[in-house]
Amino acid sequence: MFTTHVFFNGLGLGASLIMAIGAQNAHVLRVGVRRQHVAVTVATCILIDVLLIGAGVAGMGALIQDSPLLMGLARWGGAAFLVWYGLRSWAAMLRADALQLQAGAVPPSLQRALVSVLALSLLNPHVYLDTLVLLGTLGGNYPAHQRASFAVGAMTASLLWFTALGFGASRLSDVFQRPLVWKTIEALTGCIMLALAAGLVLQ
């Protein structure tokens, strides 16, 4: 049975997690700016979130949360991934050639673009913490007949966000390609990634 207020709870909580700048969002932003395989990248991110949120609300989130081993792997693996990505963003900020699209550069193939988004999504433990564990646990606390409403709300947040981010960046490509804007994005991304890593380690 569809419950409106539970749907909006899922939508709000999903949005608050998904909209935070992370490795996945930074990748979608880059793809949008370059206007290369935007639709495939956006669709893949949405599909991954839908599957993980559904599995989390169905009970896998509580299962992971009850396992110290799995939580430890997610915590330390996620922290290591975030540190690596944060330092990578700062390194890109310092490279002048990373700020501009090279004229005549061959765009990546569809297969390579798909592999990239899958890697940045599925090899990032923070994605599992947000979807399977956090959203899954919160959704699992609702009565059984309301869990689907919560899950659909969180999935809708993912659909709206990734669509707006990918295609919005594509429309604003000329703005984002300015060196100062791109340097700022890379610097902020690096800071946020390292802050998230510290949060995982210190919690």
What digits encode the pLDDT tens for the residues 29-74? 888 888 889 999 999 999 999 999 999 888 886 677 677 777 777 6
Contacts 24+ apart (CB under 8 A), 60-64: 60/132, 60/136, 61/132, 61/133, 61/134, 61/135, 61/136, 61/137, 61/139, 61/140, 62/136, 62/137, 62/140, 64/128, 64/132, 64/133, 64/136
What digits encode the pLDDT tens for the residues 92-126? 777 755 445 444 456 678 888 898 888 878 877 77
What digits encode the pLDDT tens for the residues 147-198? 999 999 999 999 999 999 999 988 887 777 677 777 787 787 788 778 877 8
